[in-house]
Structure 1
Amino acid sequence: MIGFVGIGVIFVMVFGGYILAGGKLGIILKSLPFEMMMIGGAAVGAFLISNDMAAVKHTAKDVGKVFKGPKWKHDDYRDLLCLLFELIRLARQNPVAIEEHIEDPENSSIFSKYPKILGDGEAIALICDTMRSASMNYDDPHQVEEVLDKRMEANLNHAQHSSHALQTMADGLPALGIVAAVLGVIKTMASIDQPPEVLGKMIGGALVGTFLGVFLAYGLVGPFASKLKTVLDEDGHFYQLIREVLVANLHNHATNICIEVGRQNTPSHCRPSFSELEEALKEVKSSGAA
């Protein structure tokens, strides 16, 4: 919602200030379709050249995150800690019983309690692969930790490709605006025999290209890229929490300590309180006992 508010503020302040200063929208509106065709079309074409189809689809899908915000909310972090608690507790009580859950999470009675987490393939793969490694009796937990770090770094770099692609487009828009403006000047020079009032309108139309390129770059596309990167970074904390809890488990810390390590590493605005998590874990224990 705040994204739409921001866009509204940009348009109202820029064009409202222009009108209040005595500017006329007529020349902008008349030139806008042609300038947008040149600048926007060139930007889209350059975007398609510099990215493969998978990246194009990924970016188009990710643009919605600018308005929706991070995928993982406060309750999801609490649920993740509860899920990890159940898995770690079962793995220590009955190492054989945990195999059916990590080998077939889709049909697991534990994973099915948390459908949103189950629907995220990377989160499930991260949990199952790491717990599978633990069951293989790795001699060095640091080795697993290093593998996790490299995997998460690669995943984050891949996820952030869409924000990098948008930022590249934003960086190129001012230059494309200059291209459109130069074309407008060329058109004006070809009509140099026209009266001053006609030439003035033509020059004004050419300058719309410069304005539009800069406006789109710093008013819309650049902020979109920045916001998207922020959202992707925040969602990355969810997978970082998985890493922290499972690494603590590899070091044979008590189950409650592993979960508390995860809680402490949860972003402050999503972190469940100690008492809230304690209540949630009590419900997990009672349902497991039943």
Structure 2
Amino acid sequence: MNSPRAPRRAARLILALSVGLGLGLGAGALAQSTGAVAPRTYAVKDKDGTSLPAYTIPDDTAIFRHPDAEAILYGQRLLNETRRLLPDHVGAAMNCSSCHVMQGKKPLGAPFINTYNSFPQVNPRAGREMTLEERINGCMIRSMNGKKLPADSREMQAMVAYMKWLAQDVPHGARVQIKNGSPIDMDLVPDPARGRAIYGRQCASCHGADGEGRKDARGHIVFPPLWGGESFNIGAGLARTYKAAAFIYDNMPMGVHTDGAWGEGRTLSQQDAVDVAEFFTHMPRPDFPLKDKDWPSGKKPKDARY
């Protein structure tokens, strides 16, 4: 007979592996994944604007006390090690956490904190309402340049379980008052030649002189490629200049920070971020075969790649 402590031991092993197997997230993220970064608390507003109990970004050790701990931890691993664990579904040298910083916990780093409670929702690019599983698969075929996962697969349901846990029982439709990213002035005119120079000074040491990214000795992703055959395709959100600029402005360069946990030193101005984004987003990258299906209403953003 299995010991009643076996699931908990398995969950701890999964977390240890998740932290130790080359996540490509940097020291700040590793500190977050082990609970070393102090929790931060945010206001919560219901759909009608009513204030609800505050939300605190949870420590991963709390997962062990959850009845669905193994699924949650497996989902977390999949987000951190997407390429390694899902080789048949990921064509790019990318992990979900390459863009969703600190396992989806970082303010201004595309956090997952409101994700579970925001779906289903209308997606303007698709022109219809989408489920959370469909939205995840959108990332699989765009940012991962790969293939969809079956909606009822163990892997898909594990990722959903992690996002549900991260919501921490905030009611559906309510929102934690945390920002996904800063608004970028879309009237800024990009200068790709200037962006190339900024890339060489601020980005190439991690992402490579030719945008090829960095891997460790085991071939695991440390820093993702920003262009080329192993990067995200033209259908990805980060292939758009101003979308990429917002992420750069809030989070890069990763190792430079005077405030906060990750790249929050405001080393780059918004103009810098727009210029470097224009440079690398327009470098060669894979096509997106379904691009003719996007923005059926015709309301295409001005920085769309097609």
Q: Normalised by the size of structure 2, how large is the TM-score?
A: 0.22
Structure with larger RCO (C-alpha < 8 A, sep 6+): 1
Q: Which has the higher helix share?
A: 1
Larger Rg: 1
Q: Normalised by the size of structure 1, how large is the TM-score?
A: 0.22
